[in-house]
Structure 1
């Protein structure tokens, strides 16, 4: 088997790693930085911290703080227009997956122009854009180490998956201290997102020994610590484990791809504005139960890595324990049904066929151990109401 592996050039990990940012910038021979972030990072003081660190190293740093959750093609156009006002030679993305995805998209459009729809799958985007350093402040998306970005097309409500070496950050700083102020709801949503990445990477048809190792290690870190950080956001040891686990899960799925959960999740976010991690959580137990028959041993490995099954348990029992654990996890973390989130049943029925088409077009469902027919996918979507 040939495994194709994509990684950032440099990753600094650990508490206080943010202090390494100036040296990273200098290693890229850059001197004019645009920090791409959101208003919350400004309010929390993280942007001031980054600017101070860079200015003390004689590195010019401006700020664009208008990125939005679940970025859209128009929000990326606004970022690109603002960035073109100066001659920046490096982007630093500070925030959750939305800020990092926004910076990834801007890196390419600044260098090559066009619109985001020009870069969506099935196109593989491997050109070199403006160098990007990713600094995540949530333990979830793994976007700091992946070759993916997801942008919603305003005109069609399609959540476009964009893939290629172009979207892999050149460098990343993974500093768990930046996650200590994350609220419980975001902690839960991003944490389940990371767990979903690890599980889907491990059961993906594109899995390799490289991705397997990182996926299993991610599950071992994420599963015992997700509840802890949800209930106590100041649990430093759990926060550190979650941050490491999320990055390992990112390495896993960046090199093995995600599967049916993500394929079906993206249209939910696009049409109903459900946060990405939350829509993953809504789907994960149901999709896992649907898929186990096609990869029982693999899902059993996941259950054992998550410590919800023992080596003595049969694969069948381990898979049942895995599904049960995912249901209990959602209950404890307060994951709502679509109705509880506020989605209209009539709106859902109206766009169901389009959601199925978009999910299939993303390519992710084809990586699943059990690939559903459109009719089966409709039935799986309908279970979101219960």
Structure 2
């Protein structure tokens, strides 16, 4: 039985310039990035590479329309490597660009074609939440389906992950918090997954400890404290990616996808809305399994009794950024039923990783309490 895998080589550099020199970026490379990253970090290097700016093909998180437009543009070039420099959107798109003879990404997500990798992929995260640089997962809004879907296959693993903390300096506070909360959720959902094991739990635990240590110091010392710990939070996000890349994530992500898909709520923000309510439901159903280990860990970190641990988590995260009622995003009350059905119909890949099985009524109840 396979317990653990890490198929991506991990590198660290102080700057993009150092990376570019070490990896010999050339005309045989396509660099997928954003203009706000290209201008300060790449432009002056005058690299002989093919640059594609993601925002030229659409705004927001990845959709099938955006991915197909970028795929069409990339095919105009001759290249051997994809270098993705950006947040989750850029990294998730780039993973599809490595597939041979792909014309419509929906065919890949629905596995209607043979998935063959014929390009190398280098992933450079510029946020501190996705973990995508070490996972084989790509997530997109499939507009024809009205929800988000994920594709998780071996062919999507990046060959190399590059950690460059300087990219986080320009990340606005709000996006920093939502991004790192996403990493925290990756680590905690991974820890209680039925597929978790002693190896994945090591990475989860370290990610959780580091992220909360940074958060508590931000609360005490102010928002600018985050700049003192950029490398720590980037590595914590990477740890969380390694953990959930081996175990998967569960209901928090599954319940967030209809909200994100319908109302274009950013991924980390959407996950934040469901995080503690899902874990309170888990705890009610079975407080004596691996969730007890998480409760003990959080209790020690946050200096609170175990029975109050999720209220304390909400309090800490609320001091960073407030959580919203689902109705504030435009969600209608009748969509409680619709979203519940959507989760059950299209997110079984994630629900299989739940700590305990959640019934339709329990999923509906979570939406209802958060509405």
Q: Normalised by the size of structure 1, how large is the TM-score?
A: 0.86
CA distance in 1, matches of 2:212, 2:301: 15
* 2:314 maps to 1:333: no
Matched positions, count: 366
For 1:226, the equivalent position in structure 2 comes to: 215
For 1:35, the equivalent position in structure 2 comes to: 31
Superposed, which structure 2 residues align to 1:189-204 within 5 Å?
189-204=178-193
CA distance in 1, matches of 2:41, 2:369: 40
Change in Cα spacing, 1:311 to 1:284, as seen in structure 2 (3 Å) is closer
For 2:238, the equivalent position in structure 1 comes to: 247
State the Cα deviation string for residues 202-241 of structure 1 (Å, max 9, x = none). 1000112221111111111111113545842464332221
CA distance in 2, matches of 1:378, 1:13: 44
Contact 1:124 1:163 in 2 (8 A): no
For 1:299, the equivalent position in structure 2 comes to: 291
SS at match of 2:300: coil
Change in Cα spacing, 1:340 to 1:347, as seen in structure 2 (3 Å) is closer
Superposed, which structure 2 residues align to 1:206-217 within 5 Å?
206-217=195-206
Change in Cα spacing, 1:184 to 1:7, as seen in structure 2 (3 Å) is same
The one of 39, 42, 48 equivalent to 2:43 is: 48
Change in Cα spacing, 1:228 to 1:179, as seen in structure 2 (3 Å) is farther
Superposed, which structure 2 residues align to 1:249-264 within 5 Å?
249-264=240-255
Contact 1:125 1:163 in 2 (8 A): no
Contact 2:12 2:164 in 1 (8 A): yes
Contact 1:6 1:165 in 2 (8 A): no
Change in Cα spacing, 1:31 to 1:23, as seen in structure 2 (3 Å) is farther
State the Cα deviation string for residues 145-192 of structure 1 (Å, max 9, x = none). 111000111212221110111111111111111101111110111111
For 1:381, the equivalent position in structure 2 comes to: 367
CA distance in 2, matches of 1:273, 1:80: 22
Change in Cα spacing, 1:99 to 1:375, as seen in structure 2 (3 Å) is same
* 2:84 maps to 1:105: no
Superposed, which structure 2 residues align to 1:47-196 within 5 Å?
47-48=42-43, 52=45, 55=47, 59-66=48-55, 68-108=59-99, 111-120=100-109, 127-196=116-185
Change in Cα spacing, 1:332 to 1:63, as seen in structure 2 (3 Å) is same
Change in Cα spacing, 1:233 to 1:124, as seen in structure 2 (3 Å) is farther
CA distance in 2, matches of 1:235, 1:311: 19
> 1:368 Cα shift?
1.1
Contact 1:226 1:242 in 2 (8 A): no
Change in Cα spacing, 1:354 to 1:39, as seen in structure 2 (3 Å) is farther
CA distance in 1, matches of 2:207, 2:112: 29
What's the Cα RMSD here?
Answer: 2.8
> 1:118 Cα shift?
2.2
> 1:126 Cα shift?
6.0
The one of 263, 272, 289 equivalent to 2:263 is: 272
> 1:285 Cα shift?
0.6
CA distance in 2, matches of 1:304, 1:124: 46
For 1:344, the equivalent position in structure 2 comes to: 331
Q: Which moved more, 1:193-202 or 1:292-301?
A: 292-301
Q: Normalised by the size of structure 2, how large is the TM-score?
A: 0.89
Contact 1:139 1:179 in 2 (8 A): yes
> 1:122 Cα shift?
7.4
> 1:346 Cα shift?
4.5
